[in-house]
Amino acid sequence: MTEHTVPTSPNLMDRFIDTIEWIAALFIGIVAATVFITVMMRYFFNYSIPDAYDFGMLLLGILIFWGIAATSYRGTHITVDLIWANVGPRWQRAIDIFATLVLLFVVIVQTYTLYDKVSSTYDSNILTFDLRLPVWPFFAVAWIGDAAAVLLIIVRTYRLIFHPELIAANQHAIKPVE
């Protein structure tokens, strides 16, 4: 059994990447806690938390966009490696760069349209049903996660082109050692 060595002193960009991942993990915890508390309150006390459905829906949206940010850099999203697995390392790297550039384009367009949604939601003064809280701050937090995804995909693209060893080191850090 061999162990891979990973750089022990992360630079500023690696700390930024880790922070994005921790924020995504925090939102997973918030969504799980919200659902758990809502179900327990309803089941044991026959009490429904005001706007629980709206909060759950809005927090899930936030979680999705921050999750995109967390998975975009690491490349841990769902992939189809049929061609990639059957070509040499040089072509694998070319496929990785191309796929990351396509992902970057898609997420930039998505970020632009989500910003438009934040703006139109703010202008429309859309509120939650029970507590009458504005919805746009939730959309804005989701947009920040999407903008973080753009930054992380740019970093991934740069590293794939100029420093592929940093991508490989990070992938070894999250995979179990065989």
pLDDT tens, residue by residue, 119-158: 999 999 999 999 999 999 999 999 999 999 999 999 999 9
Phi, psi of 127 (to 5 degrees): -125, 160
As a whole number, mean pLDDT of residues 147-170 equals: 86
pLDDT tens, residue by residue, 77-111: 666 678 888 899 899 889 889 989 999 999 999 99
Whole-number Å distance between alpha carbons of 34 and 32: 5
Distance between the two ends of the chain, CA-based, in angstroms?
6
Phi, psi of 82 (to 5 degrees): -60, -50
With bands split at pLDDT 50, 70 and 90, how would you rate the model's confidence at 178?
very low
Cβ atoms within 10 Å of 68's Cβ, excluding its own: 23
Cβ atoms within 10 Å of 94's Cβ, excluding its own: 14
- From 160, 145, 156, select the one nearest 14 (Cα to Cα): 156
